[in-house]
Amino acid sequence: MSRPEIYSPEGLRIDGRRWNEVRHVRCAINTHQASSDGSSIIEQGNTKVICNVVGPGEPTGGGVGGSGGNQRAKDDNRVILTVKAVVAPFSTIDRRKRSGNDNRVQEMCLTIQHIFEEAVMGHLQPRSQIEISLYVLSQDGGMLQACINAVSLALVDAGIPMYDYVCACTAGMYDKEVLLDLNRLEENDMPFLTMATLGATRKVALMQLETRVGIDRLEPMMAAAMSGCHHLRDVMDAEVRKHGKSRLARTGV
């Protein structure tokens, strides 16, 4: 079988998208009312993540590498965030049991913690803790971006004051073409970066690049990823507004 073409001369990708199209996004908030104070589910293409938020509440410690304790010592006047992620063994094609101590997953948790420590108005809830749990059900590229978007939505659902949504998107460079929002096949085949912005601004909360790329390729990738972030913000915002309207309609006030 010949390898599928990553980017055809006609300008189509493996899954039929153009270079600047993101995958289909489906998201919902308030999906797990009983178990958490805020919850969300997001599907970006075939990547699927559930997020639960509990808090703000009494600090219990824990978090990445048992860092809850350190965190508290560091700053008493801000909210403590703990992030735990579970990557389901059935989330990839070849079933694999991941241990909880996986460095990659731990790094991702830490990254998400640092992003939202800045995005959440932490000074409003001193000496309290927000627990964020992530469940990655299905992976098809862009796990980190889906997780960040899911956390944003769940925090909004939990009614936690934030400066803006944090929205994340990936962009890759295939030869000289920028491709937006990569799936797994594309991720394995080209250098790509993940970026997260604070709402629809030019302010960057996260930028991660894990593959070697020429510095002249960087700028177009960053620009594309940023526009992807802004688009995702609109999608997420529309969903939250829709949910809000339906809630308001049901209160009967």
The site for another protein (CB under 8 A) is made up of 64-67, 70, 73-74, 76, 103-104, 106-107, 110-118, 193, 197-198, 201-216, 218-219, 222, 226
Q: How many residues does the chain have?
A: 253
The alpha-helical segments, DSSP class H, found in 37-142 are: 68-74, 103-119
CB of 203 to another protein, least distance (A): 4
Q: Which residues of 160-172 are buried (b: 16+ CB within 10 A; e: fewer)?
A: bebebbbbbbbbb
CB of 125 to another protein, least distance (A): 18
Phi then psi for residue 223, to 5 deg, are -65, -40
**CB-nearer residue toward another protein: 14 or 110:** 110
Residue 70 in contact with residue 52, Cβ under 8 Å? no
**CB-nearer residue toward another protein: 32 or 116:** 116
**CB-nearer residue toward another protein: 10 or 94:** 94
Q: Which residues of 35-66 are buried (b: 16+ CB within 10 A; e: fewer)?
A: ebbbbbbbbbbebbbbbbbbbbeebeeebbee
**CB-nearer residue toward another protein: 109 or 240:** 109
CB of 133 to another protein, least distance (A): 18
**CB-nearer residue toward another protein: 67 or 138:** 67
CB of 20 to another protein, least distance (A): 18
Kindly report whether the peptide bond that precedes residue 9 is cis, defined as omega within 30 degrees of 0.
no
CB of 145 to another protein, least distance (A): 13
